[in-house]
Amino acid sequence: MQKIENYINGELISSIKEQYIDNYNPSKGEVYSLIPNSDKDDVDLAVKAGEEAFASWSSTPKVKRAEIMLKIADLIDENHKELAHAEALDNGKPLFLASHVDIPRASSNIRFFATAIMHNANESYHMEEGFNNYTLSQPLGVVGCISPWNLPLYLFTWKIAPAIASGNCVVAKPSEVTPMTAYLFSKLCIEAGLPKGVLNIVHGLGSSAGDAIVSHNKIKAISFTGGTNTGRIIARKCAETFKKMSLELGGKNPNIIFADCDFDNMIKTTLQSSFANQGQICLCGSRIFIEQSIYEKFKTAFLAKLETHTVGNPFDEKTRMGALVSKDHLEKVLSYVELAKEEGGTVIFGGNKLIIEGSENGYYMEPTVIEGLPYNCRTNQEEIFGPVVTLIPFETEEEVLTYANSTPYGLSATVWTENISRAQRIANKLDSGIVWVNCWLVRDLRTPFGGVKQSGLGREGGFRALNFFTEPKNVCMAY
Ligand code: NAD
C-alpha cells in the first residue's frame, strides 16, 4: 500500500516514529494509502528546517522567488490529469470538478501570488518639518498553514502561496482526511527547485501534528481554514504566544430569491450553490429563502432539475455528485436529516444514504431538500456541510434580512433580483463577508475573502494576504 511521506528540509521522509493513519477512498469506502501520523517531534524538525532556510529565502530577490513559484504552477498544469484523478480518489468529488475547479485553481493561486509580489509597494510619508517615513514590509519568519478536506489542494496552495511569496518559510498541514494531493505537490516543489526548508509539509492529525504547529513558540503566525470549533481552539492557543492569525471558518449561507429574478439562471445556479462538491463548500447556500409569490414555482422547477442530478462514482462522466468525504461525515449529515424531521420539517427530495452499484461501501447520499422549518430551528442555524438545503418562504425584505442574519455565521450570501436598488440595499445589510448578486462562487483573487461573526477573523485574497504574512516596520529619518 502506498505510503505518503512528510516533506521536510527538501526531502520526502517518514514520520520519526514511523506510525501511520489509514487513508480512505470515500467512493469505495476502502483504505487505499497510509499517512504519517506525525507529532511534535516531526513539527520541531520542520520548524528547524524553516528557520535555517529563512535568512536565505527572505533575502532572495522577489523576481527569483516568483520564478521558482511560476515553475511550480507550470508543473501543476503539466500534471493536471494525475492531480485531478488523485483529488477525486482521495476526496470523493466528481473528477470533472477536480479537473475544472480544484487543480486549475491551485496553479492560479501560485501564479497569482508569484506575480503579486512584483506589484506590491510600500507606504512613505513625508513630514514638512524635516522628517521622512517609509514602511518596510518584512516577512515574519516561519509560519503555519493548516487546511481542510473539502478543497484540498485549492485551499492548501491558497495559504502557502502568499506565505512563501512574501519571503516566509512554511510548516503546512493538509487535512488528514485528504492528504494525497499535498503529497504530490511536495514532489512538484522538489522538481521545481524550491530551496530546502522553504516549505515543509507535515502530515497527521489535527490534535497532534496540527496542535504542535499552533503551539510552537517559533511559529509566528497561523493561517487556518476549517471548522468554527477548531478555529476557537486555535485562537485560544495563538493567544498564549500572541501569534498573528487568520481564521477562515464555517458558514450557513443564505440564498435569497426574489420573484423578479432571472428565473432560469437562478435555478441553474442554485442547483450548483446547493450541491456542488456534495454541498461541502463553505460558500454553499444551504438556506434558500424564496419570495412567497414564486415559492411553488421554484419548488417544482428545482425538484425537476434535481431529478437529472446524477449521484455516482466520481470517475463516471455523468456524475454530478460523488461521495461524501468520510463515513463519519456521512453519518453526521444524515443525522441532520433526522433532526430536521424531529423539528417538524418535511423531506421533499432525497434524505437517504445511497448504494451505488459497484461501489456498495462508498459514502453516497441523495441530494436532499427540506421544507416546513422555522428559520431559527437548529437545522437552519447549524452548519451541516453536506448536500442538504432547506426552503423557507418570505414576504418582505425586512423579514428575509432577519432570517438571513439570524445565524452565528456570516461567510457568504447570494441575492437574486433584477432590481438593482434592492440588490444594493440587501447587500449593505447582510451580515456577511461576501455577497454575490445574480451569480455564485465567482472569484477574483484580488478581492477580500473571509467571514464575519463566527465565520472567521481577517481576510485572505490579494494584497491583504501578503500583508498578513508580513510585518510593517516604519522607519522615520530626519534630514
Ligand atoms: P476541521 O476544523 O476539522 O479541520 C481543518 C484542519 O484543521 C485539518 O487539517 C485538521 O487536521 C486541523 N485541526 C483539527 N484540529 C486541530 C487543532 N486542535 N489544532 C490544529 N489543527 C487542527 O475542518 P474540516 O472538517 O477539515 O473542514 C470543514 C470545515 O471547514 C467546515 O466547517 C467548513 O465550513 C470550513 N471551511 C471554511 C472555509 C472558509 O474559507 N471559510 C473553506 C473551506 C472549509
Q: Would you state the cell numbers that stand for residue 205, as one nine-digit string?
A: 492529525
Q: Which atom of ligand 1 is nearest to the CA of 460?
A: 40
Q: Read off the DSSP letter of residue 180.
A: H
Q: Would you state the cell numbers that stand for residue 448, as one nine-digit string?
A: 477580500
The DSSP annotation for 43-56 comes to HHHHHHHHHHHHHH
Tell whether the torsion through CA atoms of 158, 163, 167 and 170 is positive or negative: negative
What fold is seen in the domain 254-445? Answer: Aldehyde Dehydrogenase; Chain A, domain 2 (3.40.309)
Choose which residue among 225, 236, 332, 459 to substitute to test ligand 1 binding: the one with the highest number of ligand atoms within 8 A of its C-beta.
Answer: 225
Instruction: Note the pLDDT of residue 440.
Output: 98
Beta-strand runs (E) in 326-365: 346-349, 353-356, 359-365
Cβ neighbour number for residue 342 with a 10 Å cutoff: 10
**Protein residue with its CA nearest to atom 15 in ligand 1:** 206
Instruction: Note the pLDDT of residue 295.
Output: 98
Phi-psi region of 123 (alpha: psi -120 to 50; beta: other; left: phi over 0): beta
Instruction: Note the pLDDT of residue 282.
Output: 98
Q: In the chain, count H helices and then E strands.
A: 15, 23
Marked catalytic residue, from 248, 366, 371, 460: 248
SS3 call for 353: strand
Beta partners for residue 457, in sequence order: 247
> Is residue 104 within 8 Å of residue 439, measured between CB atoms?
no
Q: Which atom of ligand 1 is nearest to the CA of 250?
A: 34
Phi, psi of 225 (to 5 degrees): -125, 130
Q: Would you state the cell numbers that stand for residue 468, as one nine-digit string?
A: 498578513
Alpha carbon distances (Å) from 141 to 11, 219, 254, 365: 20, 7, 39, 44
Q: Which atom of ligand 1 is nearest to the CA of 146?
A: 9
Marked catalytic residue, from 282, 284, 291, 366: 282
Type of residue at 7: Y
Instruction: Note the pLDDT of residue 285.
Output: 98
Name every protein residue with a CB atom under 6 angstroms from any ligand 1 atom.
Answer: 146-150, 155, 173, 175-176, 206-207, 210-211, 214, 225-227, 230, 233-234, 248-251, 282, 383, 385, 411, 451, 456
Choose which residue among 282, 384, 409 to substitute to test ligand 1 binding: the one with the highest number of ligand atoms within 8 A of its C-beta.
Answer: 282
Cβ neighbour number for residue 71 with a 10 Å cutoff: 17
**Protein residue with its CA nearest to atom 9 in ligand 1:** 175
The C-alpha atoms of residue 164 and residue 198 are separated, in whole angstroms, by: 7
Instruction: Give the closest residue to 447 by CA, choosing from 456, 432, 430, 459.
Output: 459
The C-alpha atoms of residue 380 and residue 390 are separated, in whole angstroms, by: 7
SS3 call for 134: strand
Which class for 51: exposed (0-12), middle (13-18), buried (19 or more C-beta within 10 A)?
Answer: middle
Q: Read off the DSSP letter of residue 19.
A: -
Instruction: Note the pLDDT of residue 433.
Output: 98
The C-alpha atoms of residue 360 and residue 25 are separated, in whole angstroms, by: 13
Residues of the chain with pLDDT under 50: none
> Is residue 92 within 8 Å of residue 85, measured between CB atoms?
no
Told to judge if 248 belongs to the known catalytic residues of this protein, a careful annotator would answer yes
Cβ neighbour number for residue 441 with a 10 Å cutoff: 17
> What is the longest distance spanned by two Cα atoms in the chain?
79
SS3 call for 355: strand
- Residue range 346-363, pLDDT digits in tens: 999 999 999 999 999 999
Instruction: Note the pLDDT of residue 405.
Output: 98
Tell whether the torsion through CA atoms of 40, 10, 221 and 173 is positive or negative: negative
Type of residue at 205: L
**Protein residue with its CA nearest to atom 32 in ligand 1:** 227
Query: From ligand 1's centre to the CA of 346, what distance in Å?
Result: 31
Q: At what angle do helices 103-116 and 152-165 cross, to 10 degrees?
A: 10
- Residue range 243-285, pLDDT digits in tens: 999 999 999 999 999 999 999 999 999 999 999 999 999 999 9
Q: For domain 2-249+455-478, give the CATH superfamily.
A: Aldehyde Dehydrogenase; Chain A, domain 1 (3.40.605.10)
Query: From ligand 1's centre to the CA of 13, what distance in Å?
Result: 25
Query: From ligand 1's centre to the CA of 476, what distance in Å?
Result: 42
Instruction: Say which residue the cell 485553481 belongs to.
Output: 105
Type of residue at 382: E
Q: How many alpha carbons fall within 13 Å on the CB side of residue 93?
A: 29
- Residue range 51-109, pLDDT digits in tens: 999 999 999 999 999 999 999 999 999 999 999 999 999 999 999 999 999 999 999 99
Pairing, β 11-13 against β 6-8: antiparallel
Told to judge if 282 belongs to the known catalytic residues of this protein, a careful annotator would answer yes
| Domain boundaries, given as residue ranges, for the chain | 2-249+455-478, 254-445
**Protein residue with its CA nearest to atom 16 in ligand 1:** 206
